[in-house]
Structure 1
Amino acid sequence: MVNILISGYYGFDNIGDESILRTLVSSLREHIPDCSLTVLSHNPTSTREKYGVEAVDRMSPMAILRAVKKCDMLISGGGSLLQDVTSSKSLHYYLSIIRCAEFFHKKVFIYSQGIGPIDRPGNRRAAAAALKRADGIVVRDERSASLLEEIGIARDKVVITADPVIRMKKPDGDVGAEILRKAGVSLDGRLTVGWAIRERDTDSRFVKELLRSIQMMKDKYNAQSVLIPFHYEEDGEVCRHIAAQLPDDTAVCLNEKYLSEDMLSIIGNMDLLVGVRLHSLIYAAIMGVPLIGISYDPKCTAFLNSVGLDKLSTKENFTAELFLPEAERVLETGKEQVERVEVHMAKLSRKLDTNEKMICAIMEKSRKYTMQDPQNNTEKKDKSGVRTAGAISFVFLLTLFAKLLGVVREMMQANIFGTGIDADLYTASYNSTLYLFTTMCYALCIAAVPILTKEFAADRKRGEKAANNLLTITLLGS
């Protein structure tokens, strides 16, 4: 059994990251049938139910520590985890988990990540220090590999594949069609355009240009637009705002959270997908839907280039006048675009098997090393014995020091108070209390150690509860 711990931006209802986790879990189970998977999640209960894995709270230090100590390998999985554009806090959060795994001598694998941007010098040094000790590094694009080389990671240590979501299987389109009908979208041959945007400011220039673009598509093609929030918490408000600003039959906003397979099915029912979110573009490519990419981050441009396309514009430079001619062109040549993208997607999908092959090789090498090198096991036992002997010696020296202090106390007491009957009575009363307390402590140690050892072996939580109860009773009694 191989215990694998997966770290990432999971449990936040972000369709892109949830899609990464789904493909990662299914692929690991396919290639390593005897693996046990644990995920660090914002919502452990939901993650357990969705993916059938163990899950722990990603913000609980003790839960993370126990999960790291238990695992054989940490996978820092997918997405743009190691970057400081969002904030330095998220970068150091993921690096701290990597460093924790390295501290406990666990295998560390970077799984098809998009690295960067990492702009601050201190953050670059921290990332380099952690990643240099990783057992395997796989990135999803050339830009990420170049950044790692800039910060000091040897290029031959880095493998380039693709985004894990590319490997998702096409679902049945009927599920998405039913969701769209319930939301008020008519699927009767009318041109349907999906919009997967990334914006929080309802009054931004970008939103105003989107409103104009949607209205132009309605005027020219009688198109109905569907606002699709890929990250419901971040995108939902702006999507609802845009739909509310337009006539009733112009735009519909999807107002529910969906599983990644359902969202993929929804995208499959579009005639054109206009995407800002990276994984909306990947979904369109998987489902064979003509697409137009608006880039808010270099990762979007990198993916579009990897499937033979280019971005329409950046989010900051987007205008309705720029969009309409591109929409006309893509609608006219959509079949050719889809065929070209399919060829590239097939190549990228085959590359992704590199992740699991490397993971299997790393774990197999570790297993053989442990089995074939008994000297290594002997050394570990010797080190453990040295640590135990050191602890015993330390306790012995402390006890000896305490006894010597006791002798000094007796000498000072005799020198100051003399050796009369009063001093003898004081010494007797003091020692009687001390002997009683020492006897009780010895008795508790002799009785408690085997009991607590048994409780901890059976169930850690039960052992902790028993230890707490014993400590409470002892303190109250004293």
Structure 2
Amino acid sequence: MKKIFLIGYYGYANFGDEMLFESILEVFKEINFDGKIYTISDKIKLNKKYEFKIIGIDKYDFPKIISTIKEIDLLIYGGGNLFQTETSLRSFLYYDFLFNVAKHYKKNVLFLSQGFGHFKHKYATARLKKILKYKNLYGILRDETSFKFAKMCSDNFDLGTDIGMLKYKNIIFEKDPQKCHISLIIKNRKNWDKIIYILKQVNISRITPIVFNKSQDSIFAYEFFEKYKGKINISFPVSEENKIINEILKSQFIISDRLHGGILSLYLGVPVIMYKNHKNYRVFKTIDKEYDLFFRSEDDMINSLSKLNSFEFEKMQKKYITKLNETHEKIVGMVKTFL
């Protein structure tokens, strides 16, 4: 029986990471995998049943982690920017430890839908170069900056896109945009007074706050709701998958702090303005170099809103779906090769 160790930030109430997890599982289902999948989480909740067995391991049960990696056939980093130090160097060192165990036992390792950075520590950048030179490491990366960095170290990498939407590939969605209604996917506090004022100037009169990460974003979304519920037509924050998708489909456009909030909006064909951080910028520019509707300040927001109606989102949506299908095929082929 084949065994896979699947690494990701799964089971922590982050909708984006759960989309990646479920999309990777769809790949295993597609290739008729019927073995065991080990993953680092004791909080996995799935609505679907699979032929393969999913076994969670506690994040800090190092003896169990080491003994499991010793017995597996393949180790996969399954989406996201796991190698980064923006949150902490400790996080980088943890994923580096897992890699070192796999390397020690000469295991094949795949980086699927991965990106690298942002890095605040020079040590991590130097260490990543050594990781990427491992001869049994192969990958399909989701942004061009990460791909170019990896290619300096090895020829075992290809460029793809984020695969979080694969789980929806057999579902048909219908947009129902409601005039003057938008959704906000909130991650951080901002100068909301000014942003609300700007939105009112473009005739937005109804807002839905959306929570993608329940453990991190909820407090900001509920603060926003409480502050403005008497000043504008604002819905109670939504955090469940079906409600999130329904609100996006009903929105005239989306303003998103979260990468997967933006990608989901794009996949559904709903215009989106993205918060400009390293990860969002790199992934969206890889999908479409013409995309320039980013914001960091309120002035950026005005500029992006002014260009919103003229930007060809349908064209960008087609580009993303094409890249998603191509990446899907590459990943299926790569996983089959190593099982």
Report TM bin, short chain: 0.7 to 0.9
Measure, in 1, the Cα distance between the counterparts of 2:115 and 2:198.
35
Query: Which residue of structure 2 lines up, in the alignment, with residue 116 of structure 1?
Result: 117
Measure, in 2, the Cα distance between the counterparts of 1:164 and 1:101.
24
Query: Which residue of structure 2 lines up, in the alignment, with residue 252 of structure 1?
Result: 235
Match of 2:181 among 192, 199, 203: 192
Contact map agreement 2:26 2:167 (CA 8 A) in 1: no
CA deviations on 1:417-473 (whole Å, 9 max, x unpaired) are: xxxxxxxxxxxxxxxxxxxxxxxxxxxxxxxxxxxxxxxxxxxxxxxxxxxxxxxxx
CA deviations on 1:301-324 (whole Å, 9 max, x unpaired) are: 123223434343442xx11x4424
Measure, in 2, the Cα distance between the counterparts of 1:120 and 1:279.
26
Contact map agreement 2:205 2:233 (CA 8 A) in 1: yes
Q: Which has the larger radius of gyration?
A: 1
Mapped pair 1:349 → 2:324: yes
Match of 1:214 among 179, 196, 203: 196
Measure, in 1, the Cα distance between the counterparts of 2:141 and 2:49.
24
Taking a change above 3 Å as real, the CA distance of residues 125 and 51 of structure 1, as seen in their structure-2 partners, is: farther
> Which consecutive aligned stretches of 4+ in structure 1 deviate over 4 angstroms post-superposition?
48-52, 170-174
1:109 Cα deviation from its structure 2 partner: 1.0
The structure showing larger relative contact order (alpha-carbon pairs under 8 Å, at least 6 residues apart) is 2
Contact map agreement 2:4 2:36 (CA 8 A) in 1: yes
Query: Which residue of structure 2 lines up, in the alignment, with residue 141 of structure 1?
Result: 143
For residues 44-193 of structure 1, the aligned pairs below 5 Å read 44-47=42-45, 53-133=54-134, 134-149=136-151, 153-154=153-154, 156-169=155-168, 171=171, 189-193=178-182
Contact map agreement 1:77 1:113 (CA 8 A) in 2: yes
Instruction: In structure 1, give the amino acid aligned to 2:71.
Output: K
Contact map agreement 1:173 1:269 (CA 8 A) in 2: no
Number of matched pairs = 331
TM-score normalized by the length of structure 1: 0.63
Which has the larger share of strand? 2
Taking a change above 3 Å as real, the CA distance of residues 247 and 85 of structure 1, as seen in their structure-2 partners, is: closer
Query: Which residue of structure 1 lines up, in the alignment, with residue 33 of structure 2?
Result: 33
Match of 1:238 among 210, 220, 245: 220
Instruction: In structure 2, give the amino acid aligned to 1:46.
Output: I
Instruction: In structure 2, give the amino acid aligned to 1:120.
Output: H
Instruction: In structure 2, give the amino acid aligned to 1:139.
Output: L
Mapped pair 1:223 → 2:205: yes
Match of 2:248 among 267, 274, 277: 267
Question: Matched residue of 1:80: which SS?
Answer: strand
1:65 Cα deviation from its structure 2 partner: 2.2
Query: Which residue of structure 1 lines up, in the alignment, with residue 334 of structure 2?
Result: 358
Taking a change above 3 Å as real, the CA distance of residues 283 and 190 of structure 1, as seen in their structure-2 partners, is: same
1:51 Cα deviation from its structure 2 partner: 6.7
Unaligned ranges ≥5, structure 2: none
Contact map agreement 2:161 2:287 (CA 8 A) in 1: no
Contact map agreement 1:306 1:344 (CA 8 A) in 2: no
TM-score normalized by the length of structure 2: 0.87
Unaligned ranges ≥5, structure 1: 178-186, 364-478
Match of 2:304 among 326, 346, 349: 326
Instruction: Tell me the C-alpha RMSD between the 2 structures.
Output: 2.6
Instruction: In structure 1, give the amino acid aligned to 2:244.
Output: M
Query: Which residue of structure 2 lines up, in the alignment, with residue 278 of structure 1?
Result: 259
Percent identity at matched positions? 20
CA deviations on 1:378-407 (whole Å, 9 max, x unpaired) are: xxxxxxxxxxxxxxxxxxxxxxxxxxxxxx
Contact map agreement 2:294 2:304 (CA 8 A) in 1: no
